[in-house]
Amino acid sequence: MSNSEQTKKIADVIIGLEKAALDRWYKGDPDGYLEIYDEEDLSYFDPPKDKRLDGYSNVKAFYDSIKGLVHSEKYEILNPLVQVLTDTSATLSYNLVAYVGNDINNWNLSSVFKLNKNNQWKIIHTHWSFVRPMDISFEKNKDII
């Protein structure tokens, strides 16, 4: 395969894994993500948490605590981008719009993937954040714009 064919193939696999996990996530099932998180090496940022979660067991405990709670029937991945670092490492990033109850949640999402010895792509780092959270209180945050 050419370099660009290989890149396209990796991108397709990674976006497919992400979409499948996200579909389960918005049905209240976080286990789709737990299945693609690396059990040996994982770090994780999420807005509700006051610091980075390190280690699979800590992320699993958090996800187990929200099982059944997160639902959306309408959500969209915007501009997914896979940046291939090597044949065994790549970064995925996208914007996500999700309709949850009466709210529209706008997310920035980054995940770093590694191909393991069993030829499976696993996430070793994820970072979820809100798009423009200062819109919630723009005045209070004008110093940090």
Give the pair of three-digit tokens for residue 23.
């579909």
Map tokens 């209180």 to a residue.
137
Q: How far is the CB of 16 from a copy of itself (least distance, A)?
A: 20
Give the pair of three-digit tokens for residue 3.
């370099």
Subset of residues 103 to 142 that bind a copy of itself, contact rule: CB under 8 A: 103, 105-106, 108, 110, 112, 114, 124-125, 127, 129-134, 136-137, 140-141
The H-or-E segment that residue 7 falls in is helix 3-25
Identify whether the C-beta of residue 59 lies closer than 8 Å to the C-beta of residue 66: no
**Which residues on adjacent β-strands are paired with residue 111?**
92, 126
Q: Give residues in contact with a copy of itself (CB under 8 A).
A: 41, 43, 45, 47-52, 54, 78-79, 81, 83, 85-86, 88-89, 91, 93-95, 100-101, 103, 105-106, 108, 110, 112, 114, 124-125, 127, 129-134, 136-137, 140-141, 143-145
